[in-house]
Amino acid sequence: MFAPGRRRMTPTPGMVVWLVVDAVGMLLLASGGYWLIYDKALLIEGWPGGTFGAIVCVVLGFGLMLQAVAKLLAASAQRPPP
């Protein structure tokens, strides 16, 4: 599984926060995309309320995911090698 003598990378509290932000972004993207495709709510009935709200959800979800991935990559690059 892992090479002998190599330690597993443990997430820092900051990385866990960005993982949660990434998950929220995925939910927003999925909710907005589902509304745009099927014209009904995915998780919460009545949300997003229309096409404009669904487009906002998709854009915000994609933005959150992009920012979270960038921060996670930056945080993992700053860590010293094992």
Residue 64's alpha-carbon distances to 21, 23, 29, 57, 58, in angstroms, are 7, 9, 9, 10, 10
Domain membership of residue 39 (yes or no) is yes
- Is the previous residue joined to 48 through a cis bond, with omega within 30 degrees of 0? yes
Please state the rounded mean pLDDT for residues 10-23: 93
Terminal-to-terminal C-alpha distance of the chain: 16
Domain membership of residue 48 (yes or no) is yes
Domain membership of residue 8 (yes or no) is no
Which pLDDT score, from 0 to 100, does residue 71 have? 95
pTM score, whole prediction:
0.83
| 39 HSE (CA, 13 A, CB side) | 0
Please state the rounded mean pLDDT for residues 25-52: 93
Q: Write down the mean pLDDT value for the chain.
A: 89
Structure-token pair, residue 74: 């930056």
Q: Which domain holds residue 18?
A: 13-75
What domain count does the chain have?
1
Domain membership of residue 28 (yes or no) is yes
At residue 2 the predicted structure's pLDDT band, cuts being 50, 70 and 90, is low
> Can you tell me which residue has the tokens 């597993």?
8
